[in-house]
Amino acid sequence: SQTSLNNLSGMLVTQYRDDRLKMVKPASVRRELVVLRHVFEVARREWGLPVKENPVKQIRLPEDARPRERRLLGEDERQLHAAIGKRSAWYLRPFIILLVETGMRRGELLSIRWRDIDFGNSTVQILKTKNGHPRRIPLTPEAIRTLQNLPRSDDKVFPVAANAVRLAWERLRVRAGLTSLRLHDLRHEAVSRFFETGLSVPEVALISGHREPRMLARYTHLQPERIARKLSLSQPSSDGS
């Protein structure tokens, strides 16, 4: 229903919030309301909007979703690759390897073309990104090997539809017995591994494309066991040698 700005109240915004929660996830509703709250604040303070109070400030926002902490643990990675058989899509194994080695999103990896890859300098230019900011990222030796072993039948490295990748992944995770693992979790895995290898926040942000450290932290789930091993290697031996 429509209402005038003069009649807009916290109660009406509450109704909007509750109606939206029936259709989309709480995190999505929260983002919408945060934007709306900012719009009202700018309009009141700078545009002279005839509203005494910001109605969005009068309501409780849905809680932000807790970041997923799903990583490749124990035998997960071995199970995943073992489930790839002769009948699996040709691109599935290299696609998964490159997601973990580069931290790219599915759409970003699908968008790259052979001309975007600089094998001499071990980098790739990603032109189509989620935030609209192209970036050039370094490639690990494993990523280079994987790319070099791919067939070159098209301008695109992976001339495959996004939906085909999604369906192939769904079948694979069921065969591997990893139904709780999402394809996007491999990006979490990649970012966490970058930190575990000792890269700094700016270095990881350059690779992942995150423009805010707060958002980068949501993708980062370090494993205490790996850090403990690194600490044990960095400590001097007990005999002082």
> Domain spans of the chain?
5-58, 76-229
Q: How far from the centroid of its chain's Cα atoms is residue 95's Cα?
A: 16
Average pLDDT in the 173-200 region?
90
Active site annotation includes 214: no
On the question of pLDDT at 151 being above 90, the answer is yes
In this predicted model, which residue has the larger pLDDT, 143 or 27?
A: 143
| pLDDT tens-digit map of 52-83 | 788 888 888 887 655 556 778 778 999 999 99
User: Residue 124's beta-bridge partner residues?
Assistant: 117, 137
On the question of pLDDT at 236 being above 70, the answer is no
- Tokens 């979703």 locate to 65
Burial environment of residue 46 by CB neighbours within 10 A (0 to 12, 13 to 18, 19 or more): exposed
Q: Which of 71, 81, 171, 184 is catalytic?
A: 184
Active site annotation includes 91: no
d(CA 168, CA 28): 27
Mean of the per-residue pLDDT values for the chain? 85
Give the DSSP letter of residue 124. Answer: E
On the question of pLDDT at 166 being above 80, the answer is yes
Q: Which of 130, 133, 152, 214 is catalytic?
A: 130
Please give the pLDDT value at position 174. 93
Query: What CATH number was assigned to the domain covering residues 76-229?
Result: 1.10.443.10
Please give the pLDDT value at position 44. 79
Active site annotation includes 221: no
On the question of pLDDT at 171 being above 90, the answer is yes
User: Residue 112's beta-bridge partner residues?
Assistant: none
Active site annotation includes 38: no
